[in-house]
Each structure stands twice: as structure tokens, then as C-alpha cells.
């Protein structure tokens, strides 16, 4: 059940990330900004370039295998699986962008922070939550 939870969490994040990027690409051109509030904006940025191909894919696959082992052997249950699944789904979303487009699309702009996307938020949030649960 824990590995199924990990898989479903990763799949949900991957689908959400790709859906938001598809929506963005269909409605905003590169560099265009839509201000939601005075502090939050949607700004399409073709960020982090690089079509690494196989090296990135192999590194990603190795990390996923390590995470699956941690979840399987930890006996910590569903919360850890959801957190790590979110991180895997986010990494998969950015990997899909790199392999398909040659760069990652970022679009969430909050104040002075660097522009990010759903995948970045899931990677950060999932990893920090997993660390919290493991401590």
C-alpha cells in the first residue's frame, strides 16, 4: 500500500505540473506577465536550460530507486510516501520539460523570490516534509 501511495502522489504532482505548464503555454507568451495581486504574478520564463538527456535520466532513476527503498524499509507509512512521492513527481515534471522542450518552464512569481513552478514547489515541500518525518 505504501508504494502505491508513493506512486499515486508522484503521478498527481506530475499531472498537475504538466497541466499548469500546458495551460500557461497556451495563454502566455514568453516574458508576458499577469499580475494576480500586488505581490503574486504569473510570468512565463523559459528557465534553466540544458538538454542533458541520459545523464539526467539515469540520475533521476537512481534517486527514485533510493527513495523507493527508503519508503519500503522505513516502515513509516503513508505520510512519508506522500511526501517523497510529491518530490518524485516534481522531479519527473521538470525532467519531462528538459527532455521535451530543452528547458524547464517557470511561471510563479512571488515578491523577490526567484520564479518557480508547481514541480519546484513539490520537490521542496516534499523533501522538507520527508526530512521532518524522518527526524
| Residues recognised as catalytic | 106, 120
| DSSP class of 3 | H
Query: Residue 12's pLDDT is what?
Result: 97
Do 88 and 123 form a contact (C-beta atoms < 8 A)?
no
Q: What is the residue-level pLDDT of the chain in tens, covering all 135 positions?
A: 578 888 899 999 999 999 999 999 888 888 888 888 888 899 888 665 555 555 666 776 777 777 777 767 766 667 888 998 999 999 899 888 888 888 888 899 998 888 899 999 999 999 889 888 888
Q: Where are the domains of the chain?
A: 2-134
Per-residue b or e along 97-112, where b marks 16 or more CB atoms closer than 10 Å to that residue's CB: bbeeeebbbbbbbeee
Cβ 77 vs Cβ 83: under 8 Å: no
Amino acid at each position: 500500500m505504501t508504494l502505491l501511495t508513493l506512486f499515486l502522489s508522484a503521478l498527481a504532482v506530475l499531472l498537475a505540473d504538466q497541466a499548469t505548464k500546458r495551460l500557461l503555454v497556451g495563454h502566455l507568451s514568453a516574458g508576458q506577465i499577469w499580475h494576480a495581486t500586488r505581490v503574486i504574478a504569473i510570468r512565463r520564463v523559459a528557465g534553466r536550460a540544458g538538454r542533458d538527456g541520459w545523464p539526467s535520466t539515469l540520475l533521476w532513476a537512481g534517486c527514485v530507486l533510493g527513495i523507493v527503498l527508503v519508503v519500503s524499509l522505513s516502515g513509516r507509512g503513508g505520510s512519508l510516501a506522500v511526501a517523497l512521492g510529491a518530490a518524485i513527481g516534481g522531479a519527473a515534471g521538470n525532467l519531462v520539460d528538459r527532455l521535451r522542450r530543452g528547458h524547464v518552464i517557470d511561471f510563479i512569481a512571488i515578491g523577490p523570490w526567484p520564479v518557480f513552478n508547481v514541480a519546484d514547489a513539490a520537490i521542496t515541500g516534499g523533501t522538507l516534509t520527508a526530512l521532518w518525518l524522518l527526524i
